[in-house]
Amino acid sequence: MKFTEPALDNLINLISRLPGLGPKSARRIALYLLKNKDSLMKPLAETLSNAHSKIIRCQICGAIKSLDANCTIEKCYYINNSYDQLCIVENIADMWAMEATNIYKGHYHILGGTLSALNGSNPETLLINSLIERVKKNNVKEVIIATSATIEGQTTAHYINDSLQGLSIKITKLAHGLPVGSEIEYLDDGTLFSAFKYRNPISEK
Ligand SMILES: [Zn+2]
């Protein structure tokens, strides 16, 4: 069903593009916002605009950071930040899922996607050069590749493994046991925990 007011149609259309929302929920949200214009719609619009201009992706580790502040999640700006392990994940939700298992408390490198011709992700957008730099600068001993068990995730894992050849480090990836086609973000803690615990080396130096 279409409303006749173009501004409202546009609002519903944009809301329906958010993950997990269909046209029906989008309509409900749009009408709810209109009903609460001053108390919710206005502050939400201002917050969105502010987030759009102020929140950026850290070009070193891939975490989210404020435009005018240091990277707080990974604290990757510390020059002498030496650590043994670096875990590579596709996105921030994967990092949160990994942290929830309590099996790993180290540092992360957030790719922001997987290698894909379709969505335009390439080694540059995935911060692969920065990853190599971090491994060298921070004296990383082990890189743990925690990409999803999808074709794209595994292709990316292979690419990262190839990119890190020549460095004297151990490279591991999550063990099989992850359901094929599954995405890290949606796994239950137990599956993710055991997959992480029994991770296998891809290559070892
Ligand atoms: Zn950072």
- pLDDT (0 to 100) of residue 80: 65
Contact assessment for residue 21 and residue 27, using Cβ atoms and an 8 Å cutoff = no
Of 178 and 60, the one with more pLDDT:
60
pTM score, whole prediction: 0.76
- Cα of 124 to ligand 1 centre, how many Å? 15
Q: Where are the domains of the chain?
A: 85-203
Considering 11-25, 67-81, 188-202, the range whose residues carry the highest mean pLDDT is 11-25
- Cα of 126 to ligand 1 centre, how many Å? 13
Architecture of domain 85-203: 3-Layer(aba) Sandwich (3.40)
Q: What is the pLDDT of residues 75-114, one digit of tens each?
A: 787 666 778 999 999 999 999 999 898 889 889 999 999 9
3-state secondary structure of 31: helix
Mean pLDDT computed over 4-13: 91
Residue ranges near ligand 1 (ion) with Cβ within 5 Å: 58, 60-61, 63, 71, 74, 76
- pLDDT (0 to 100) of residue 87: 96
- Cα of 50 to ligand 1 centre, how many Å? 20
- Cα of 182 to ligand 1 centre, how many Å? 27
- Cα of 72 to ligand 1 centre, how many Å? 7
- Cα of 34 to ligand 1 centre, how many Å? 38
Of 133 and 188, the one with more pLDDT:
133
- Cα of 27 to ligand 1 centre, how many Å? 37
- Cα of 75 to ligand 1 centre, how many Å? 6
- Cα of 65 to ligand 1 centre, how many Å? 7
Nearest to 111 by CA among 103, 102, 121: 121
Contact assessment for residue 202 and residue 161, using Cβ atoms and an 8 Å cutoff = yes
- Cα of 152 to ligand 1 centre, how many Å? 24
Q: What is the largest CA-CA distance in the chain?
A: 65
- pLDDT (0 to 100) of residue 10: 94
- Cα of 9 to ligand 1 centre, how many Å? 38
Q: What is the pLDDT of residues 13-55, one digit of tens each?
A: 999 999 999 899 999 999 999 999 999 999 999 999 999 999 9
Percent of the chain with pLDDT over 90: 57
Contact assessment for residue 173 and residue 144, using Cβ atoms and an 8 Å cutoff = yes
- Cα of 70 to ligand 1 centre, how many Å? 8
- Cα of 107 to ligand 1 centre, how many Å? 10
- Cα of 49 to ligand 1 centre, how many Å? 23
The rounded mean pLDDT for the chain is: 89
- pLDDT (0 to 100) of residue 143: 96
Two structure tokens written together for 109: 């490198």
- pLDDT (0 to 100) of residue 3: 56
Spatial separation of the C-alpha atoms in residues 135 and 84, rounded to whole Å: 9
- pLDDT (0 to 100) of residue 1: 58
